[in-house]
Amino acid sequence: MLSGICPECAAHVPLREDVVLHEFLTCPECGTALEVVSLSPLTLDRAPQVEEDWGE
Ligand SMILES: [Zn+2]
């Protein structure tokens, strides 16, 4: 099984075989929103936080 490393807690995060670049997922250990930033090697980074208040 493919897996990446959570940058927040260093847990192994299981990934599907058909994982795609920039896919979003959640760390099962710490709940951090993650993004696949590289497929070779498989690298995860924190997903950019969406600001709910855009100050419009
Ligand atoms: Zn984590």
Taking the chain (56 residues) in runs of 10, the rounded mean pLDDT of each run is 94 95 96 96 90 72
Residues in the chain: 56
Which residues lie below 8 Å from residue 48, measured CB to CB, with a gap of 6+?
35
Around ion ligand 1, residues with a beta carbon closer than 5 Å are: 6, 8-9, 11, 27, 29-30, 32
- Give the model's pLDDT for residue 48: 85
How many whole angstroms from 56 Cα to the centroid of ligand 1?
33
- Give the model's pLDDT for residue 31: 97
How many whole angstroms from 16 Cα to the centroid of ligand 1?
17
How many whole angstroms from 54 Cα to the centroid of ligand 1?
28
Check if CATH label 3.30.70.1350 holds for domain 2-46: no
- Give the model's pLDDT for residue 53: 76
How many whole angstroms from 7 Cα to the centroid of ligand 1?
7
Separation CA 39–CA 21 (nearest Å): 6
